[in-house]
Amino acid sequence: MWKIASPDRTLTVAISGSDSGALSYSVEENGALAGSGALGICTSIGDFSCGLRFVDTAEQMIDEAYSLPVGKKKEYVNKACETRLRFEKEGIPFHLLVRAYDNGAAFRYEIPDESRGASLEVYRETTDFCFPESFDTLWLQDWVASYEGPYNKTRWGPGHDGRHYGMPSLLHAPADSLWVMVNEANVPNANGGYCISHGKGTAGRRLTLEFAPEEKGNPVPSPLPFCSPWRYLQVEDHLDDLVN
Residues 6+ apart with CB under 8 A from 133: 205
Note the pLDDT of residue 215: 73
DSSP 213: G
Does the model's pTM come out above 0.75?
yes
Mean pLDDT by 10 residues, the chain (244 residues): 96 96 96 96 95 96 93 89 96 96 97 80 94 94 86 90 93 93 85 82 91 80 90 96 89
Note the pLDDT of residue 191: 60
Give the C-alpha separation, 3 to 14, whole Å. 4
Note the pLDDT of residue 176: 86
